[in-house]
Amino acid sequence: MSRSERLLDLIQCLRRHRRPVSGHVLADELGISIRTLYRDIATLQGQGAPIEGEAGLGYVLKPGFMLPPLMFSDEEIEAIVLGSRWVAKQPDRRLSAAAANALAKIAAVLPDDLRDDLDASTLLVGPPAEVMESIDLGLVRQAIRNERKLAFRYRDAGGAASRRVVWPFALGFFDKVRVVVAWCEARQDFRHFRTDRITDLKPIDTRYPRRRQTMLKEWRATLDRPRGS
Amino acid sequence: MSRSERLLDLIQCLRRHRRPVSGHVLADELGISIRTLYRDIATLQGQGAPIEGEAGLGYVLKPGFMLPPLMFSDEEIEAIVLGSRWVAKQPDRRLSAAAANALAKIAAVLPDDLRDDLDASTLLVGPPAEVMESIDLGLVRQAIRNERKLAFRYRDAGGAASRRVVWPFALGFFDKVRVVVAWCEARQDFRHFRTDRITDLKPIDTRYPRRRQTMLKEWRATLDRPRGS
DNA sequence: TCGCTGCTGCCAGAATCTGACAGTAGGCTG
DNA sequence: CAGCCTACTGTCAGATTCTGGCAGCAGCGA
């Protein structure tokens, strides 16, 4: 195996083990000596890979993801760039900024002619709507990831306010607003909640009793067939 | 310069010259011997790069684009995936298919935990609208790229039909339909045309007298300020 | 204190890469 | 057809890089 291939393998290894791994283990998995591993790690760090080593612990790959060399056709690149531009115009600040950063990174490695072609493919959406998020989406993401309940006050389309305890499992886009998709304990059904109508968001420390993947699947199934059938 | 860096450089070189380039020229640009160049080309081909060499002509990089290893944060990946999903749901069949392919390629190299997180971020747009493209968007793209005029019949929102000759310079999304952005010869102004209302599209072989980048810039400027000011 | 770990410098042998030369084969032009 | 340009392969010796082992230092936890 050539050295450059091995470097990618090393990243994949680090990603597999999420906990700190000792250099010795990594060297074993790659079939190289510990000395060479240290050199490889140094090389990767030199190329900007976010690898951290601490004495007595081992190595961890900091969050952040390296895409290995990927082949895309012109159209696939166009699709990716266009989609990222769309995300960049969405009101979710964090995602929008992330999309802008991603676009910058992609543009940096694109050949000029392709970049020109992409300029001819524009997005005609209006300026981003001034939707003020009243809540911290980070809390929602965390609750989803850890399968924890959420409590909040909600004001529905009619203006009626209510208190909810829900089991969130997805955070989606709907037109210009973001919605939390969840099982509502009060209604005993799937509901989605516009984030801009949520107030007093409080994470609850109890885990909800179902797997979020399962609920996602069930919820999708209810979407596929029209209401009432 | 290490060999692996040079291989990426070689791809960039090939991309710069769009016409066939002889191995000798490439070797000069990279500062290596012809023999080493042949070896490098062979290596790249072995890794799946679409390089073609023909005796008497030179090397060409077949359309298709290789993204070098790129670092993305979790959020940037989420933005890219989300955007691609959005594109995949758009009515433009070619782009939608391209987005689906790109997503598959990205998903293939994503670690499992990240893929799970992304599942929790859904797109709540309805099923793709049944917009039948009556024209071949490929012709439009080609006209834009080559700065050629286009002639077609257009039926506007009020139902009134007209013949147009335009200078197209962009192909954009607007909500669920695609629009051609162009300078309209009849109206002597920028106009955009919904592709589903265009019929009898005919490419015209005459080049229009302005640069498409310039027109794009001017058109963008008109968008920034509200009408009438 | 000990053990485990990260990390660096050094060195000799192994592996790889590189350039040069020679030769084959294919396309293009005259 | 000949002549030229090109892609491509084989071979080989020297240059370069890579690799593993060793020694040693530093930080962390028990």
Q: Which residue has the higher pLDDT, A49 or B218?
A: B218
Tens of pLDDT, residues B42-58: 988 887 788 888 888 88
Q: Which residue has the higher pLDDT, A80 or A133?
A: A80
Which site among A2, A13, A17, A76 would you substitute to test the B interface, given the most B Cβ atoms closer than 10 Å to its Cβ? A76
CATH architecture of A137-224: Roll (2.30)
Amino acid at A169: F
Instruction: Give residues lining strand D (CB < 7 Å).
Output: A 3, 6, 31-33, 35-36, 39-40, 54-56; B 2, 21-24, 35, 38, 41-42, 53-59
Question: Would you give the end-to-end CA distance of chain B in angstroms?
Answer: 55
Contacts of B66 in chain A (CB under 8 A): 69-72
Tens of pLDDT, residues A87-125: 998 878 888 999 999 999 998 888 777 888 888 887 766
In CATH, the number for domain B3-61 is 1.10.10.10
Domain boundaries, chain A: 3-61, 74-119, 137-224
Q: What is the mean pLDDT of residues A140-167?
A: 92
Distance CA A129, CA B213 (A): 28
Per-residue confidence at B224, pLDDT binned at 50, 70, 90?
A: low
The separation between CA A175 and the C-alpha centre of its own chain, rounded to angstroms, equals 19
How far are the Cα atoms of A40, B129, B168, B185, B216 from residue B225, in angstroms, in the given order? 53, 31, 22, 23, 15
Q: What percent of chain B has pLDDT over 90?
A: 36
Residue nearest to nucleotide D29 (CA to C1'): A56
Q: Which nucleotide is nearest to A35 (CA to C1')?
A: D20
- Whether A176 has a pLDDT exceeding 90, the answer reads no
Mean pLDDT score across all residues of chain A: 85
How far are the Cα atoms of B140, B141, B175, B219, B226 from residue B197, in angstroms, in the given order? 14, 17, 15, 22, 26
The answer to whether the CB atoms of B174 and A83 lie below 8 A apart is no
- Whether A79 has a pLDDT exceeding 50, the answer reads yes
Please report, rounded to whole angstroms, the spatial distance between the CA atom of protein residue B40 and the C1' atom of nucleotide D2: 33
Per-residue confidence at A221, pLDDT binned at 50, 70, 90?
A: confident
- Whether A201 has a pLDDT exceeding 80, the answer reads yes
Distance CA B45, CA B113 (A): 32
How far are the Cα atoms of A107, A182, B78 from residue B82, in angstroms, in the given order? 18, 19, 6
Q: What is the mean pLDDT of residues B128-155?
A: 83
Per-residue confidence at B229, pLDDT binned at 50, 70, 90?
A: very low
Q: Which residue has the higher pLDDT, B128 or A152?
A: A152
Please report, rounded to whole angstroms, the spatial distance between the CA atom of protein residue B174 and the C1' atom of nucleotide D30: 65
Q: Which residue has the higher pLDDT, B32 or B222?
A: B32
Per-residue model confidence (pLDDT) at position A228 = 39
Distance CA A11, CA A8 (A): 5
Residue nearest to nucleotide D30 (CA to C1'): A56
The region that residue A5 occupies, defined by phi over 0 for left and psi between -120 and 50 for alpha, beta otherwise, is: alpha
Q: What is the mean pLDDT of residues B103-128?
A: 77
Other CB atoms within 10 A of residue B174 CB: 15
How large is the angle between the packed helices B212-224 and A112-119, nearest 10 degrees?
A: 50
Q: Which nucleotide is nearest to A4 (CA to C1')?
A: D18
* DSSP classification of residue A103: H
Which site among B67, B113, B115, B180 would you substitute to test the A interface, given the most A Cβ atoms closer than 10 Å to its Cβ? B67
Per-residue confidence at A227, pLDDT binned at 50, 70, 90?
A: very low
- Whether A173 has a pLDDT exceeding 90, the answer reads no
- Whether A180 has a pLDDT exceeding 80, the answer reads yes
The answer to whether the CB atoms of A71 and B64 lie below 8 A apart is yes
Per-residue model confidence (pLDDT) at position A229 = 34
Non-local CB neighbours of A2 within 8 Å, separated by 6+ positions = none
The answer to whether the CB atoms of B79 and A98 lie below 8 A apart is yes
Per-residue confidence at B228, pLDDT binned at 50, 70, 90?
A: very low
Q: Where are the alpha helices (DSSP H) in B47-174?
A: 74-88, 93-109, 112-119, 137-146
> Which residue's entry shows tokens 């209006």?
A126
The answer to whether the CB atoms of A65 and B73 lie below 8 A apart is yes
- Whether B126 has a pLDDT exceeding 60, the answer reads no
